[in-house]
Structure 1
Amino acid sequence: MIRGKIIRKYQEIQAALDEDLRITLSHLEMEERAAVSALDGLMERNCSLIQEIEQDLDRLTVAIMAQTDTEPDTMSLLSYPKQQDMETLDRVMDLLNRTDPSSVSLDEVKADQILSLTNNMLLLISSQTPIIRKLTKSYSSEVYLDPETAHPKLIISPKGDSATFTDTWQQLPDLPGRFDTTLNVISVQGFNFGRHYWEIDVTGKTYWELGVTYPNIPRKGTTEHCWLGRGAESWCVEFFDGEYTAWHGGVPHQLPFTKRFCRIGVLCSFPAGLVTFVEAENMTPLFSFCAGTFSDGLHLALCPGHDHNGINTNPIVICNAPSPTDDL
Structure 2
Amino acid sequence: MSSREGGKATQQEMLQKHRQHLQRQRDGLAHRMKKLAAKQVEITKKTNAIKEKIQKRYEDMKRVLDQDLMITLTQMDIELEATEKTVEDRMEHCYHLTQELDQQLSDIGAQVTTQENEIQIAETDKKVSETMKLSDPDGIHMDEFRNEQLLSLTVNLLLFIRSQVPVTKKLFQTYAADVVLDAETAHPKLIISPEGDSATYTDTWQDVPETTSRFETTLNVLSRRGFSEGRQYWEVDVSGKTYWELGLTYPSIPRKGRVEDSWLGRGEGSWCVEYFNGDYTAWHGGVQHELPLLAGKQFDRIGVYCSFPAGLVCFLGADTATPLHCFCAGTFADSLLQAVCPGHDNEGTNWKSLKVCDASRSAPVL
Specify the TM-score bucket, using the shorter chain as the normaliser: 0.7 to 0.9
Residue number among 278, 282, 292 corresponding to 2:330 in the alignment: 292
Aligned pairs for 1:98-109 (under 5 A) are: 98-100=134-136, 102-109=138-145
| Matching of residues 193-212 of structure 1 within 5 Å | 193-212=229-248
Q: Does 1:16 align with 2:64?
A: yes
Q: Provide the residue aligned with 1:157 in structure 2.
A: 193
| Superposition deviation, residue 61 in structure 1 | 4.7
Q: Which residue of 2 aligns with 1:214?
A: 250
Is residue 2:214 matched to residue 1:166? no
Maintained 8 Å contact 1:200/1:317: yes
CA distance, structure 1, for counterparts of residue 259 and residue 144 of structure 2:
74
Kindly state the Cα deviation for residue 223 of structure 1 after the two structures are TM-superposed: 6.1
Q: CA RMSD of the aligned region, Å? A: 2.4
Residue equivalent to 1:71: none
Alignment partners' CA distance in 2, 1:170 and 1:35: 77
Q: Distance in 2 between matches of 1:314 and 1:35?
A: 60
What is the rounded CA distance, in whole Å, between the counterparts of 2:191 and 2:143 in structure 1?
Answer: 65
For residue 224 of structure 1, what is the amino acid of its counterpart?
E
- Aligned residue identity for 1:201: D
TM-score (normalizing by structure 1): 0.85
Q: Is contact 2:190–2:201 with CA below 8 Å preserved after alignment?
A: yes
Decide whether aligned partners of structure 1 residues 108 and 204 sit closer, same or farther in structure 2, where only a CA change above 3 A counts.
closer
CA contact (8 A) 1:53 1:92 kept: no
Asked whether the 8 Å contact 2:218–2:259 carries over to 1, the reply is no
Percent identity over the alignment?
52
**Of residues 215, 219, 224 in structure 1, which corresponds to 2:260?**
224
Post-superposition offset of 1:102: 5.0
Q: Distance in 2 between matches of 1:19 and 1:97?
A: 41
Listed one character per residue, the Cα deviations across residues 99-148 of structure 1 (whole Å, up to 9, x for unaligned) are 44554443333323322222221221122122233222332222111011
1:316 CA drift (Å): 1.9
The answer (yes or no) to whether the contact 2:238–2:354 under 8 Å persists in 1 is yes
Q: Using the TM superposition, give the Cα deviation of residue 11 of structure 1 relative to its aligned residue in structure 2, in angstroms.
A: 1.2
CA deviation after TM superposition for structure 1 residue 96, in Å: 2.9
Structure 1 unaligned spans of 5+? 68-76, 322-328
1:5 is aligned, of 27, 49, 53, to 53
TM-score (norm 2): 0.76
Higher helix share: 2
Give 1:58 deviation, angstroms. Answer: 4.7
Aligned residues: 309
What's the counterpart of residue 318 of structure 2? 280
Is 1:43 paired with 2:91? yes
Query: In 2, are the aligned partners of 1:60 and 1:84 still within 8 Å (CA)?
Result: no
Given the alignment of the two structures, is residue 179 of structure 1 paired with residue 215 of structure 2, yes or no?
yes
1:313 pairs with 2:351: yes
> Partners of 2:156 and 2:248 in 1: how far apart?
40
Q: 1:110 aligns with which of 126, 140, 146?
A: 146
The 1:53/1:115 distance shift into structure 2, 3 A limit, reads same
107 and 196 in structure 1: CA distance in 2 versus 1, 3 angstrom threshold? same
Residue 196 of structure 1: how far off its partner (Å): 1.8
Change (3 A) 1:102 1:307: closer
Q: How does 1:244-255 map to 2 (within 5 A)?
A: 244-255=280-291
Deviation at 1:187, TM superposition (A): 0.6
Q: Which residue of 2 aligns with 1:243?
A: 279
